[in-house]
Amino acid sequence: MKKDKKVVTLAYGCQMSERDAETLTQITRQEGYTSSDDLMDADLVIINTCCVRESAENKILGKIGELKRLKERNPNLKIAISGCMVQQPGALERLKKRAPHIDIWAGTHNLHDFSALLHQAEQGEKVAEVWEEPKMTIESTPQAEKGKLQANVNIMYGCNNFCSYCIVPHVRGRERSRKPEEIIQEIRDLVSSGCREVTLLGQNVNSYGQEFSPGYDFADLLQEVDQIPDLLRIRFITSHPKDLSDKLIETVAHGKKLCEHFHLPIQSGSNFILERMNRKYTREYYLGRVEKIHAFLPQASLTTDIIVGFPGESERDFELTLETMDLIHYSQAFTFMYSKRSGTLAAEMEDQIPLDVKKRRLQRLMSVQNQKSLEWRQQMIGNIFEILAEGPSKTNPERLVGRTRGNELVVFEGQPEQIGSLVNVRITEAGSWTLFGVIES
């Protein structure tokens, strides 16, 4: 029997999915597996899935098909599919029929039980377990991997918002906040192993702690994390605009390690579309939150998510989105065509937008934002920014790469011994997505 068992873990979708994939990898390490990137030498392949958009599902289904051929060459290979795609109502039976070569199916609520499923699969069984609701405490899953410069830390799970286009509440359940003391201890442990930057994760971090009594909210948690020694930077994602409080904005403004970057999805600039999306805020309210951010943090960068082609979106609705972008000047926008998700209210709405119209609007939106992103970064040329040196650049290994506090990617000349430390970099050149600079002595 092969002694050195290898696992390849693939994650699709958001940072929450990536964090779940890391949890699964940690579990397999406890079972004697070592991580690998080589599918041809793998004993176990795990795909943690996403179902937010049809394009993600299509990529995953294509990868599952590829793995069938891999298993034909290596019958001892075990394949596990987990995550949101599996959790959708009725999805498991459809997927099992389509992919009988898969050994393990696991949903979002029972990842902590993966070792038991793996043991069964290693004995030759086909295993499928998808819980409709969480049954165990959320502290039962492994913590983030230690020894890394940066780490994602879950502070909560699930979502209560039920945006009409979104499948997340259906596949991740209702909001559950982790205990503050558990989060703080996890981050302390990470820092002691060399971590210098954490990103706090939740589908809506702004609603963290709403089930706690007495009141303890996300701003309170940030204030505690900000006091952890040797931690250099704190980021968080994602913020729902309706729950972005003055207290939270002021906490970021007064924090020492809290990065001045807000990912604040607007989704549309039209109040009519926002209401149909069930976003629970208006364009005017959103603009007021942005004004508040810039009042306390003039240097803050804003990124966003925008959906075009939502059912019923007129040309005027789309123009309102473009006009809103002119008012806010996002450093980056993640733009998408509306994609039907079975089980959501929007999938049943009339006035679905033709594909060619959605494509045209998306291309125009991307063109506008690309130019704005370039202008945003060009105005940084000549300025000095504090950068956390993360490591060699993937495109230019002789240079280092890192990010500003505003989450701008910067490539610069540096030395290996500077990795993991804060350096001051003067920006000399700007592209649409990347800045270039030199260390200022």
Consult the annotation and say whether 259 binds a ligand. no
Query: Is 51 among the annotated ligand-binding positions?
Result: no
- β-bridge mates for residue 403, sequence order: 388, 409
Q: Which residues contact 32 (CB under 8 A, 6 or more apart)?
A: 5
**All residues at 6 or more sequence positions from 254 whose CB lies less than 8 Å from its CB, including other chains:** none
How many Cβ atoms sit within 10 Å of the Cβ of residue 150? 18
**Residue 14, helix vs strand vs coil:** coil
336: which residues sit within 8 A by CB, 6+ positions away? Answer: 53, 305, 306, 307, 308, 362
Q: How many residues does the chain have?
A: 441
Burial 214-224 (b: 16+ CB within 10 A, else e): eebbbbbbbee
- Residue 159 assigned to a binding site: yes
Order of strands, sheet of 5-11, starting from the edge strand that comes earlier in the sequence: 33-35, 5-11, 44-49, 78-83, 104-106, 127-129
Residue 195 is assigned to a ligand binding site:
no
Q: Is 84 annotated as a binding residue?
A: yes
Determine the 3-state secondary structure of 364 from DSSP.
helix
Please tell me whether residue 283 adopts helix, strand or coil conformation. Answer: helix
Binding site residue list for [4Fe-4S] cluster: 14, 50, 84, 159, 163, 166
Binding site residue list: 14, 50, 84, 159, 163, 166
